[in-house]
Amino acid sequence: MERKKVSSSKIRSVGYDERARVLEVELNDGSVFQYSGVSPEVHRRMMSAPSIVSYYQDKIEEEFARKRLR
């Protein structure tokens, strides 16, 4: 999955596969997490949020099943 760099204090890049409904988040420490069942609307809201990391922590991190890739 291709991830796009984002301007955030803790998140380096974000990728999304709409067909599979999978979100990938790469943190600044190099770890990568994959979240399943993420709707296109949640991804859109995260990418347009005033603070990507706050949206991630509040709406994604504990709400969706995750798998650590790296």
pTM as predicted:
0.92
* Reduced 3-state DSSP string for 2-67: CCEECCCCCEEEEEEECCCCEEEEEECCCCEEEEECCCHHHHHHHHHCCCHHHHHHHHHCCCCCEE
Residue 42 has pLDDT above 90, yes or no: yes
The structural domains of the chain, with segments of one domain joined by +, span 4-68
Q: What is the pLDDT of residue 48?
A: 96
Split at pLDDT 50, 70, 90, the class of 70 is: very high
Q: What is the pLDDT of residue 1?
A: 85
Judge contact between 56 and 11, C-beta under 8 A.
yes
Residues 17, 23: Cα–Cα separation, whole Å: 7
